Amino acid sequence: MTCLCGKELTYNEAGLSKKFLADGQLLCLHCLAKRLDVTEERLKEKIEEFLRAGCKLFVKE
Ligand SMILES: [Zn+2]
């Protein structure tokens, strides 16, 4: 899986895209942050939150 920008996606980046993008597009952290108008740091925090919630779309990196 690769992002629109050509970057190879990590498992967690794909997971975030599935959580936040209704159109099924998969984006890297950088592009997703731009799309959602949030910081990449905030998205990393969300990954931690989803991990703690036991969401299977995310793995500990
Ligand atoms: Zn990208």
The full set of domain ranges for the chain reads 1-61
What is the model's pLDDT at position 28?
Answer: 98
33 in helix, strand or coil? helix
What is the model's pLDDT at position 48?
Answer: 97
What is the model's pLDDT at position 26?
Answer: 97
Closest by alpha carbon to 26, among 43, 8, 38?
Answer: 8
Mean pLDDT computed over 39-58 = 98
Mean pLDDT computed over 42-53 = 98
- The whole-angstrom separation of Cα 14 and Cα 8 is 10
CA dihedral 22, 39, 14, 21 (to 10 degrees): 0
51 C-alpha to center of ligand 1: Å?
A: 22
Mean pLDDT computed over 23-31 = 97
60 C-alpha to center of ligand 1: Å?
A: 21
What is the model's pLDDT at position 56?
Answer: 97
| pLDDT class of 61 with cuts at 50, 70, 90 | confident
